[in-house]
Amino acid sequence: MTGTLPLDLLAPDAVADPYPLLAWLREEQPVVWSDAQRAYLVLRHDDLTAALQDPRLSSDRVRPIYENKLTPEQREQRAPTYDLLEHWMVFNDPPNHTRLRKLVRAAFTPKAVRQLAPRITEIVDELLDELAAQNTAAEIDLITEFSYLIPAAVIAELMGVPRADVEKFKAWSDAVMVIVFGVAREPGVLDAAQRGLVELRDYLADLARHYREHPADNLISDLAAAVDRDDRLTLDEIVSTCVLLLFGGHETTTNLIGNGSRALIRHPEQRARFLAHPDEVGNAIEELLRYDGPSKLEVRRCVETFALRGTTIPAESQVYLLQAAANRDPEAFADPDRLDLARTDGRHVGFGHGIHYCLGAPIARLEGTIALERLHRRFPTMAEGTTEPVWHPTLVSRGMSSFPVVLEPST
């Protein structure tokens, strides 16, 4: 079935709650061209998982824009951004993607991730103590005062960044978000974001040089030491990978904690189950990722014309693979709009699928598990505030920039 979509995925109602629109599209036009987004949308679970493994849909989507759609002046202006993004494995296809992932994966062994748990717990408990010291019956912002603060501290320590520089990492992560998500169209804002990206690049390059000469127990040292036969990561690849991990880990974990908390608050019977069954918390996190996960879609570039469900997708078209729609597909999940922490049909695609499955997923799961379990155990009656949450107006991510809550409502 072919057709056009007059509705905008970035319209305020769709940003605040995309699921009604996605459900209608999934049923009526599961593969459809969007005039507003200038892209083809793919919404069903089976189509999406197949598409994420289809070589006709390429992750190499930054280089064609930089080389073919920018003027020489624009290319010169945006060169620092491109020089970093071209090494991100999420923007590469095999064989380069395979090479980068194999080298980087050596630093993300299950043992290495498990060893982070004690320090993540300390960071979470320190933040909870600060919240408890406030007026817990007053409205606070769960994003800026809790969930936003955890991943930057964790990834900074993981990389070997001095604690005094963690605040810089938060600002730099915001700069990367502006560039990658395109949330700001004003040239001045983009220029400022690129300056932040260059500062981050230079900082990490100095740190990488230091740890190459003086290895320590941290991620940058592990990346510098990673070897596959005679192959190593270059300095530029180490720096670009660290920028990707900072951004991806920060955005994903912040949204997982925020969205997960909102879902638990709005489903008190499920929150009670979450607290009563600590042995099932891992399964609960998977359901929270499915129900309202931190990622709405993945972007691909079509490199060869092909048809899907009767819709022809021309070469060089942009394709949006809508994880948020696939994760509520009734063909894949029973009663998909219901939050059920006991659910066992957990084939969600919140972290992607196939060769580009999120490399940092184990860390995000660990951070989210510790943060959500300890937050809701500490404040089991936490409730939404009177002020509405503010959602990021972005296509790719699903998260809030502000989520007012009352930790201990007065009775």
269 pLDDT exceeds 50?
yes
- Domain ranges (residues) in the chain: 4-406
pLDDT at 373: 97
Q: pLDDT tens digits for 3-34?
A: 444 578 999 999 999 999 999 999 999 999 99
pLDDT at 6: 55
Contact between residue 379 and residue 74 where contact means Cβ atoms under 8 Å apart? no
Q: What is the pTM of this model?
A: 0.92
Q: pLDDT tens digits for 120-167?
A: 999 999 999 999 999 889 999 999 999 999 988 888 888 888 877 877
Mean pLDDT value across residues 242-258: 88
In CATH terms, the superfamily for domain 4-406 is Cytochrome P450 (1.10.630.10)
